[in-house]
Amino acid sequence: MSRTPLDTVEHAAATPDVELPWAELGLKKDEYERVVEILGRRPTGAELAMYSVMWSEHCSYKSSKVHLRQFGEKAPESDALLVGIGENAGVVDVGQGYAVTFKVESHNHPSYVEPYQGAATGVGGIVRDIIAMGARPVAVVDPLRFGAADHPDTKRVLPGVVAGIGGYGNCLGLPNIGGEVVFDACYQGNPLVNAGAIGVMRHEDIHLAKASGAGNQVILYGARTGGDGIGGASILASETFDDAKPSKRPAVQVGDPFQEKLLIECTLEAFREKLVVGIQDLGAAGLSCATSELASNGSGGMRVTLDDVPLRDSTLSPEEILMSESQERMCAVVEPEKVERFLQICEKWDVIATVIGEVTDGDRLEIFWHGGKIVDVDPRTVAHDGPVYERPYARPSWQDELQADDANKLPRPATSEELKDQVLKLVASPNQASKKWITQQYDHFVQGNTVLAQPEDSGMIRVDEETGLGVAIATDGNGRYAKLDPYTGAQLALAEAYRNVATTGAKPLAVSDCLNFGSPEDPAVMWQFAEAVRGLADGCLQLGTPVTGGNVSLYNQTGEAAIHPTPVVAVLGVIDDVARRTPVAFQEEGQLLYLLGDTREEFGGSAWSQVIHDHLGGMPPAVDLERERLLAEILISASRDGMIDSAHDLSDGGLIQAVVESALLGDKGARLVVPDGLDAFTFLLSESAGRALVAVPRSEEVRFNDMCGARGLPATRIGVVDGDSVEVQGEFALPLATLREAHEGTIPSLLA
């Protein structure tokens, strides 16, 4: 793209007829014309680079914006929210002067192209978002979706993704405490690699991405800028994979977790000394994004000398420098008298830091190269005034037929023997099987504050050693449910994550989401998206948990085939004392098992329908958010008052899945009795929402029952923790050893 003479603003004004490669950079014709209109002339190459990356789907949310507004419009009253949507990550008050920031993002497309680096840099990016808020990152979680477990390409993608997440996160010293791994053929060419992170800070330490105060210096620090990830944002994330196009491998960035670890420590030290006015991480769209967002969120303009950017490759053109997505870089705005100290801290940590510009009085973002002005724009037009599309959407023609194909009518096991075989097949199926082979590649212990980690219902981190204050996080999302009904599917994802936080004893406070969908240019996909957002916004309003931020990933499709709509929801909770947390594992023989909630015949989208019948149809389980709220209150009270010793949410795979997991983790069996009014099949395998399994010490039974009775939550005694098998009276018994072999053998046999 390098042209001679230098394409300065002056040159652009003098040469209106020069054709620029706007289409190659991903801009549509009308978008390019809008840029020309804004500037009153043709853009320079550098300006075009900036607009093209910042107006890409990935950065501008141009297709999703009109729907995402509901998260603000329907936001519930919450005094917990300190910083809402729009900043690098939302911030939630968790009490005792602490604030927690958390967010989930996608790194789907890069992870398919280059699994290790794609996933690694996904972790790196989300962690920088957390640091940029002023917080110390304390944990990561990784919701993942892959193609069929036995597909050959899964064996390429999954181990690479897992090694990348581990390789980066482990080296950063962040415990990996949660997430999910789901297999489904619909993700074959489009794995979903979502990465979430949590950070903790004191209220007074919150930092924002804005550049204010004329004369303040703009410091770029961290890694040198190289040629990696150029155009990643606009090209990789915003177009569907298509076999006809050339390989896009060079657009994936390469991560250096060691550099990021230094960046974390040096940034936190600078925060401690109150040296930073505003800060922004360099992620998608690199310097284009950091400079335009810092400038447009502040009160003034900004002048940047691009020649001062430390380069890894001296042949880079200014356009490439502006677009580069080289990892492990941050941009800080620092008052002139504090610059020296800031640079000293960077030197202490061996981090390269360079003043590249300053905040100005005006309202322009001006960028210079070799003495010539190559960018002169209103930064707001780059960062915030991107195109907004009202994409057409319509309920797909096949939706009725899909919902009419009722899973409740599928043939059910006719004998106890058949039921037993199906149960064993289910707990061994890739989605229900133990993911230990994957999660043991992640460090869960580092930092010494991990109270709970996967396979617990939520990950839990101690925040304060003295008081025991802790936070919990769970992520969930069931694409099969969402395919059957996106509105309900999104609410089920929310309900499950909310419930998972509550089963561990924490109070759900706030939500982040990662919305993974197909192409927005397909009205059917757009309808799925609109419905899911509406469902999630309505659900958050009802549960009183505001959405604090999130991420949208579109174009997850290969050719005509889109992935299942997959809204992944993360719920953050707080627990006053982590000593009261409730684990999944059965603790003591003789404890009584109670099933909380109502069980109905609900098999649409169920694990049973998938594993036994390879079927997807009917309606997903009904959602009752008031019931979810009541169940959560009971679980939290019971945990706080010591009435339950273990608890497990019921979701995919139903009751039997939960019993088997609790039994295997505690190495203690269970004897179950099918309650009156239910058949064994429905009892064991229905996926009705709003339910949990709890183990109650005998001494607490009366008190626990009284509480559930007084508050109107159905609680059914279904058995006892006992023996070394899982026995369903009158039906079958499965020894723990058999269950363990089935449950833990699957993933290693497919992937190791």
Partner 1 sequence: MTARIGVVTFPGSLDDRDTQRAIRLAGAEPVALWHKDKDLRQVDAVVLPGGFSYGDYLRAGAISRFSPVMDTVIEQAKAGLPVLGICNGFQVLTEAHLLPGAMLGNDHLHFICRDQKLRVENAETAWTGDYRRGQEIHIPLKNMDGRYVADPYTLDKLEAEGRVVFRYVDFNPNGSLNDIAGVTNEAGNVVGLMPHPEHAVEPLIGSGRTDGLPFFTSILKKLVNA
- Helix then strand count (H, E) for the chain reads 25, 28
| Tokens encoding 748 | 């290693």
Contact of 114 with 576, CB cutoff 8 Å: no
Q: Would you list the DSSP string of 422-443?
A: HHHHHHHSTTTS--HHHHTTS-
Output the smallest distance, CB 723 to partner 1, in A: 24
* Shorter beta-carbon distance to partner 1: residue 241 or 349: 349
261 binds partner 1 (CB under 8 A): yes
Question: Which structure tokens are listed for 415?
Answer: 């004998």
Residue type, 635: L
| Interacting span for partner 1 (CB under 8 A) from 39-47, 184-192, 253-261, 322-330 | 253-261
How many residues make contact with partner 1 (CB under 8 A)?
Answer: 34
Q: Does 224 bind partner 1 (CB under 8 A)?
A: no
Residue 587 is a binding residue for partner 1 (CB under 8 A): no
Output 271 or 555, the one with its CB closest to partner 1.
271
* Integer Cα distance of 102 and 644 in angstroms: 29
Query: Residue 443, interface with partner 1 (CB under 8 A)?
Result: yes
Tokens representing residue 484 in the block: 């059957």
- One of 1, 38, 66, 171 touching partner 1 (CB under 8 A): 171
Q: Which member of 444, 600, 640, 671 binds partner 1 (CB under 8 A)?
A: 444
Q: Does 173 bind partner 1 (CB under 8 A)?
A: yes
Q: Is residue 450 at the binding interface for partner 1, with CB under 8 A as the rule?
A: yes
Helix (H) or strand (E) holding 175: none
Q: Does 267 bind partner 1 (CB under 8 A)?
A: no
Q: In whole angstroms, what separates CA 537 from the centre of its chain? A: 17
Is the Cα torsion angle 313, 314, 320, 322 positive or negative in sign?
positive
Nearer to partner 1, 36 or 163 (CB): 163
Q: Name the DSSP class of 247.
A: P
Spatial distance between the Cα atoms of 166 and 468, rounded to a whole number of angstroms: 28
Stretch that binds partner 1, among 98-106, 190-198, 440-448, 649-657 (CB under 8 A): 440-448
Q: Which amino acid is at 301?
A: G
CA distance 431 to 183: 6
The neighbour count for residue 551, using CB atoms within 10 Å, is 23
Neighbours of 144 (CB within 10 A): 26
Q: Which stretch binds partner 1 (CB under 8 A): 42-50, 227-235, 435-443, 671-679?
A: 435-443
SS3 content of the chain, % helix, strand, coil (to 5): 40, 25, 35
The correct pick among 441, 467, 705, 738 for binding partner 1 (CB under 8 A) is: 441
Name the residue among 595, 507, 517, 631 with its Cα closest to residue 563: 517
- Which residues have a Cβ under 8 Å from the Cβ of 117 and sit 6 or more positions away? 110, 164, 252, 253, 254, 255
When binding is defined by CB under 8 A, the residue of 258, 272, 590, 703 that contacts partner 1 is 258
Interacting residue with partner 1 among 47, 184, 256, 476 (CB under 8 A): 256
If binding is defined by CB under 8 A, does position 686 make contact with partner 1? no
Tokens of 449: 């504050």
- Please list the active-site residues: 58, 107
Q: Any contact of residue 751 with partner 1 (CB under 8 A)?
A: no
Give, to the nearest 10 degrees, the angle between helix 486-503 and helix 625-640.
Answer: 10
Tell the smallest beta-carbon distance from residue 165 to partner 1 (Å).
Answer: 10
**Closer to partner 1 at the Cβ: 67 or 136?**
136
Q: Does residue 435 bind partner 1 (CB under 8 A)? A: no
Q: Does 163 bind partner 1 (CB under 8 A)?
A: yes
Identity of the residue, 526 or 585, whose beta carbon is nearer to partner 1 in the bound complex: 585
What does the chain come to in residues?
752
Q: Which is nearer to partner 1, 207 or 581 (CB)?
A: 581
Q: How far is the CB of 148 from partner 1 (least distance, A)?
A: 22
Judged by CB under 8 A, does residue 306 bind partner 1?
no
Give the range of 168-176, 208-216, 300-308, 728-736 binding partner 1 by CB under 8 A.
Answer: 168-176
User: Per CB under 8 A, does 447 bind partner 1?
Assistant: yes
Q: Which is nearer to partner 1, 243 or 350 (CB)?
A: 350
CB of 346 to partner 1, least distance (A): 13
Three-state DSSP class for residue 339 = helix
**665 is a contact residue toward partner 1 (CB under 8 A):** no
Q: Considering only CA atoms, which of 663, 656, 673, 692 is closest in space to residue 588?
A: 663
Identify the CA nearest to 51 among candidates 21, 31, 30, 24: 31
Region binding partner 1 by CB under 8 A among candidate stretches 123-131, 352-360, 433-441, 588-596 = 433-441
Q: Which of 332, 346, 407, 451 binds partner 1 (CB under 8 A)?
A: 451
Considering only 299, 416, 440, 729, the residue that binds partner 1 (CB under 8 A) is 440
474 binds partner 1 (CB under 8 A): no
Residue closer to partner 1, measured from CB, 505 or 535: 505
Q: Figure out which of the listed residues 100, 230, 235, 262 binds partner 1, where binding follows CB under 8 A.
A: 262
Select from 411, 448, 677, 712 the one that contacts partner 1 (CB under 8 A): 448
Q: Exactly one of 578, 631, 655, 674 binds partner 1 (CB under 8 A); which one?
A: 578
Residues 6+ apart with CB under 8 A from 619: 403, 406, 484, 485, 488, 604
Taking CB under 8 A as the binding criterion, the range among 289-297, 400-408, 449-457, 597-605 that sits at the site for partner 1 is: 449-457
CA separation for the pair 658, 206 (Å, rounded): 40
Cα 747 → chain centroid: 23
Between 163 and 214, whose beta carbon lies closer to partner 1? 163
Q: Evaluate the CA torsion angle 733, 678, 661, 119 in order and state its sign.
A: positive
Structure-token match 């960077």, residue found: 346
Q: Could you say which DSSP state residue 530 is in?
A: H
**Nearest distance from C-beta of residue 587 to partner 1, angstroms:** 12
Query: Is position 482 an interface residue for partner 1 (rule: CB under 8 A)?
Result: no
Supply the minimum distance, in Å, between the C-beta of residue 440 and partner 1: 5
**Is residue 341 at the binding interface for partner 1, with CB under 8 A as the rule?**
no
Nearer to partner 1, 568 or 575 (CB): 575
466 counts as binding partner 1 under rule CB under 8 A: no
Lookup: tokens for 693: 């399994």
What does residue 175 show for φ and ψ, rounded to 5 degrees? Answer: -65, 140
3-class DSSP string for 469-485: CEEEEEEECCHHHHHHC
Residue closer to partner 1, measured from CB, 440 or 729:
440
First to last CA, the chain: 45
Pairing verdict, β 176-183 and 136-146: parallel
Residue 185 contacts partner 1 per CB under 8 A: no
Choice between 88 and 259, CB closer to partner 1: 259
Among 166, 232, 459, 669, which residue interacts with partner 1 (rule: CB under 8 A)? 166
CA distance 572 to 142: 14
Q: Cis ω on the peptide bond leading into residue 486 (within 30° of 0)?
A: no
Using CB under 8 A, list all residues that contact partner 1.
163, 166-167, 170-173, 256-259, 261-262, 349-350, 439-451, 462, 465, 578-579, 581, 752
